[in-house]
């Protein structure tokens, strides 16, 4: 990741664009799966890793940790706890 030491705006733009690029590539893999191809799990893992990497860069630029972001959203997400999927119901176990 290119770091612009004295330019937080450039850092935010670079990381936001990179997150979007990785997410778009992840979406491509999902679309192929929906269209009948086998899910490329390795590609999905790679794209999710890229998203995590660039999210860290974004968070570092705005001086927040992953925990800060998760804590700030915990109340909003708490209502979704009842919708958790059992491991044997995941897509990896259905292929």
Q: What is the pLDDT of residues 27-57, one digit of tens each?
A: 999 999 999 999 999 999 999 999 999 999 9
pLDDT of amino acid 88: 58
Residue 87's pLDDT band, with cuts at 50, 70 and 90, is: low
Token look-up 């679309």 returns 31
Nearest to 22 by CA among 47, 39, 57, 2: 47
Q: With bands split at pLDDT 50, 70 and 90, how would you rate the model's confidence at 91?
A: low
- The sign of the dihedral angle between the CA atoms of 88, 91, 92, 95 is positive
- The percent helix, strand, coil of the chain (3-state, each to 5) is 75, 0, 25
Provide the strand spans (E) within the chain: none
Token pair listed for 13: 């733009």
Output the pTM of the full model: 0.77
Retrieve residue 55's tokens: 């999210």
């Amino acid at each position: 990741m290119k770091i612009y030491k004295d330019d937080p705006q450039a850092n935010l733009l670079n990381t936001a664009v990179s997150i979007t690029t990785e997410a778009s590539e992840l979406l491509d893999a999902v679309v192929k799966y929906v269209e009948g191809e086998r899910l490329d799990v390795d590609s999905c893992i790679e794209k999710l890793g890229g998203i995590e990497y660039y999210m860290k860069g974004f968070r570092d630029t705005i001086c927040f940790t992953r925990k800060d972001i998760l804590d700030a959203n915990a109340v909003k997400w708490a209502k979704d706890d009842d919708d958790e999927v059992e491991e044997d119901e995941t897509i990896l176990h259905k292929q």
